[in-house]
Amino acid sequence: MFYRVFNDLIDEGQKKGEITLDLSANDIISILTTCIRGVIYDWCLKKGSFNIVSYGNNLISMMLNQIKL
């Protein structure tokens, strides 16, 4: 379900010219989900010592800025 929603959003963004066509929707999903898992993994490794929401939002925003047009 998560991946289907992600795929629909990325497809829509690509059709509207808001998201790069240099990468497939599947490639973008893979990159973003890897980033999300990395944030969670890092937070766990550091025993919750930082604000995961703030850190995650910053990192995901940086990633999204790289795929938008």
Q: What is the mean pLDDT of each run of 10 residues along the chain (69 residues)?
A: 90 94 94 93 96 94 89
pLDDT of residue 59: 92
Whole-model pTM: value is: 0.81
pLDDT of residue 1: 81
pLDDT of residue 8: 94
Question: Residue 50 is encoded by which pair of tokens?
Answer: 């930082």
Question: Residue 68 is encoded by which pair of tokens?
Answer: 């938008």
pLDDT of residue 39: 95
